[in-house]
Structure 1
Amino acid sequence: MSLTSLRLASVRSLTGLALTAVVAVSGLARAQNPAEATVPRSVMSEAMRVCAGYIGEAAPEDLQIVGSEKEAYVRQFSQGDLVYINRGRDANLQTGAEYQIVRNIGPVYDLADRRRKLGTLVQELGVLRITEVRDTSATGEITLICTGTVNLGDALIPYERRPIPTVRPYRPLSVVGAPTGRATGQILAGQLSREQLVRNDVVYINLGADNGLKVGDYLTVYRPLASDTVSRFRDDKIGQSRSNGFSSDRFRTRDNSSLASSQKGYPQVAERTPRNELPRTLVGEIVIVRTEANTAVGVLTRTTREAVVGDRVELQ
């Protein structure tokens, strides 16, 4: 065998070994993926939970931020700033203790019954650690800040590390799933007054512990059929007569779907088939991370479309 032939044989041998190694590694990666998929994953981080806010009883305001070393030229404080508190040893404050910074925003009423007060929206602003305690005052350092800033007058409550649920194994959302018959409610609001909501957004629900909700429960987000959030304009007739691309007035139908239908086609269909018996519009899924008496805080874990304030929810 010539030297050239030996070299070609060696190259082919090395190439074969390399391909075998690649296949083996690829097979190992595929084998590991299912195991990786089963590793529990938290619904949200601790920092995200601290900043979620809630609707419930108003936070007590006897412990407040009343001053700062920077107050001569700054009215809003952020992470790392030192602030002064209106109580000290007289309120059993201790060095190293952590407190959550909160602000009472205002009352929240049920979307379905505007006379029913559900509680007060409490915004959670961050975490503070006591660094020095005196008889009637104390000093604290802001160790975590949420979206926004901390102001003079913001209240402090003991920081409580609450359990965070894990995301359950993946299961497809049923687009035509029938109602479960369990508790139903609505999305009251989104965090920071958001009205259009997407995956990982924090939302507030008008269902709570009194309705059987608990941390880790899942809710289906849905809309009744034909109640989507797209606004209609002039009964859907947005094209001018004789405009290119639109049907003429002579053959116009309610939805431009068929020349065989009539202007009365939609009401006739609705009479023959009650709309509440048809599948509802699936929007997404929420997992509950905190419950109060008649409200709850949840996180949108999955969405099929943009969710909005007022969308309906049902306990799975």
Structure 2
Amino acid sequence: MKLRPQLLWFLVFLPMVAIGSGDSLFKKSHLGNLDDDRYEKLSPRVRIEPLVGPIPAIPLDSISSFISSGHLVEQEDLNLSPRIISGKSDRLIFGSGDEFYASGQWQDGTSVYGIFRSGNVYEDPKSGELLGLEVIEIGLARVVDRKGDIVTLAITSAREDVRIGDLLMPTEERRVESIFYPRPPENQINGVIMNVLGGVSNVGRNDVVVINQGIDAGLEVGNVLSIAKQGEQGRHPKNEERDKMPEQRAGTLMVFRTFKKIAYGLVLRTSEPLKVGDLVRTPK
């Protein structure tokens, strides 16, 4: 029999010995100590590694498809913003390349507008305080003609159908991080998930959520928060009294956009099913 060189190491240093029980033993041999008669029995074992490690830097292009184009405005901004009132061909829905008419108060020198749709009204779940009015950017339009307060615009891009009643606002110029460096916030954060974008109540990995903490609480872009499920009510077996169970850590999110009292976050990890109303905390 011709021996392959790559197997010679095993033949010299790891001889196998059979014993009566049918188990296997590997003789422990080391270079320079080949006459050692000690034996060690080997058996299957579990390798334990931590489930949660540090989160690496996240490039923008790897999560750009998840990042919302929504932002918050004041009620006065909504009241003063121009709105789409009609299309050139009496259509109710428009797409890229279509022209439409809009009316309202216009900013001098602005020729490109974002097309927005009214979103959620966010109130603090505990205090009831108005935190902000959400609008979602669905497209862009440029001015074609002006006649008094009636302006003709052409849609240059659209993420979804544009409708009569949609808002027009100057496009928002803001600094966009090219790389997010996840890190815990410096302050203690105690908030809740108020909404998950997409019209659902359950929360999963890569979902964008809205939380009731923002710049005023010390949140910054890149901050990582733990998601916890509220403890259930348990009945004591002796006195029938209800006791609240401890919170259970169930996931991690990263803040990618902040406002005064609200922030948007991307869910990075989940270990339990999540939902609106779950808690967000500074990681321990």
2:37 corresponding residue in structure 1: none
Same amino acid, percent of matched pairs: 26
2:276 corresponding residue in structure 1: 309
Supply the distance in 2 between the matched residues of 1:44 and 1:167 (Cα, whole angstroms). Answer: 10
1:292 corresponding residue in structure 2: 259
> Contact conserved, 2:57 with 2:179, CA < 8 A, in 1?
no
Larger relative strand fraction: 2
1:141 corresponding residue in structure 2: 154
Indicate the SS of the match to 1:216.
Answer: coil
Q: List alignment gaps of at least 5 residues for structure 1.
A: 1-36, 172-179, 228-234, 236-253, 255-262
> Contact conserved, 1:125 with 1:150, CA < 8 A, in 2?
no
Supply the distance in 2 between the matched residues of 1:43 and 1:188 (Cα, whole angstroms). Answer: 25
Q: Deviation at 1:159?
A: 1.3
Supply the distance in 2 between the matched residues of 1:43 and 1:267 (Cα, whole angstroms). Answer: 51
Note closer, same or farther for the CA distance 1:296–1:92 as it changes in structure 2 (3 Å cut).
Answer: same
> Contact conserved, 1:53 with 1:191, CA < 8 A, in 2?
no
Supply the distance in 2 between the matched residues of 1:295 and 1:119 (Cα, whole angstroms). Answer: 8
> Contact conserved, 1:52 with 1:202, CA < 8 A, in 2?
no
Indicate the SS of the match to 1:193.
Answer: coil
> Contact conserved, 2:204 with 2:274, CA < 8 A, in 1?
yes
Q: Deviation at 1:196?
A: 0.7
Normalized against structure 2, the TM-score is what?
A: 0.64
CA deviation profile, 1:47-101 (whole Å, cap 9, x unmatched)? 754x54245523434322222123x2x212233322223269x74244xx43222
Q: Read off the aligned partner of 1:188 and give its amino acid letter.
A: M
Q: 1:44 aligns with which of 63, 69, 75?
A: 63
Q: CA RMSD in A?
A: 3.7
> Contact conserved, 2:57 with 2:180, CA < 8 A, in 1?
no
> Contact conserved, 2:114 with 2:169, CA < 8 A, in 1?
yes
Supply the distance in 1 between the matched residues of 2:211 and 2:250 (Cα, whole angstroms). Answer: 15
Supply the distance in 2 between the matched residues of 1:68 and 1:292 (Cα, whole angstroms). Answer: 34
> Contact conserved, 2:225 with 2:280, CA < 8 A, in 1?
yes
Note closer, same or farther for the CA distance 1:223–1:103 as it changes in structure 2 (3 Å cut).
Answer: same
Mapped pair 1:116 → 2:129:
yes
Q: Deviation at 1:186?
A: 0.1
Q: Read off the aligned partner of 2:163 and give its amino acid letter.
A: N
1:194 corresponding residue in structure 2: 200
Normalized against structure 1, the TM-score is what?
A: 0.59
CA deviation profile, 1:203-225 (whole Å, cap 9, x unmatched)? 11111111111222121111144
CA deviation profile, 1:130-158 (whole Å, cap 9, x unmatched)? 141324343323333335x3221211111
Q: 1:57 aligns with which of 74, 77, 83?
A: 74
Note closer, same or farther for the CA distance 1:78–1:305 as it changes in structure 2 (3 Å cut).
Answer: farther
Q: Deviation at 1:290?
A: 1.9
> Contact conserved, 1:87 with 1:93, CA < 8 A, in 2?
no
> Contact conserved, 1:65 with 1:86, CA < 8 A, in 2?
yes
> Contact conserved, 2:228 with 2:249, CA < 8 A, in 1?
yes
Indicate the SS of the match to 2:188.
Answer: coil
Q: 1:75 aligns with which of 85, 92, 108?
A: 92
